[in-house]
Structure 1
């Protein structure tokens, strides 16, 4: 009996994961469409992706990263 219950529970988990994977792919497609639309309006999608990543970061982490980046750029004469 427990093998049957375990198999049913496993199947339900797998089906939930499959549904979520489908939703995730749909969201990825929607995001790609937004970047394409922005690009058609003259925006740089690469830069937009970087801005999105920066906005996800905590302010102090972003500031620290920017300070280190500036230090590296200065050291390499890129400023």
Structure 2
């Protein structure tokens, strides 16, 4: 295996301290992301325990991220396909 030095792939210099700090920052963000994912799971569990459907809540969240026109277009296409398949 090649020995690590301060030469990068493009012939530029890699500052070991800067690289270490970037990696540590990314690792902290990964930890935060995991914590947030766990928090979301807790919220969904709470919703389920109160009688709500977690799948429906997730779908609503997905829809709310989209622009109204984008959502309406997707729904129209879905409805067209469902009619073609005799599902509606």
Scaled by the length of structure 2, the TM-score of the pair is: 0.83
- Please name the residue that 1:29 is paired with: 38
Q: Which runs of 5+ in 1 are unaligned?
A: none
Using the alignment, how far apart are the partners of 2:14 and 2:86 within structure 1? 65
- Please name the residue that 1:13 is paired with: 22
Using the alignment, how far apart are the partners of 1:62 and 1:22 within structure 2? 33
Q: Which runs of 5+ in 2 are unaligned?
A: 1-5, 7-12
Could you say which structure has the higher helix fraction?
Answer: 1
Using the alignment, how far apart are the partners of 1:75 and 1:31 within structure 2? 37
- Please name the residue that 1:76 is paired with: 85
The higher relative CO (CA closer than 8 Å, separation ≥ 6) is in 1
- Please name the residue that 2:49 is paired with: 40
Scaled by the length of structure 1, the TM-score of the pair is: 0.92
Using the alignment, how far apart are the partners of 2:59 and 2:86 within structure 1? 23
After TM superposition, what 4+ stretches of structure 1 lie above 4 angstroms from structure 2? none
The CA deviation at 1:5 is 6.6
Structure number with greater Rg is 2
The CA RMSD measured in Å over matched residues stands at 1.4
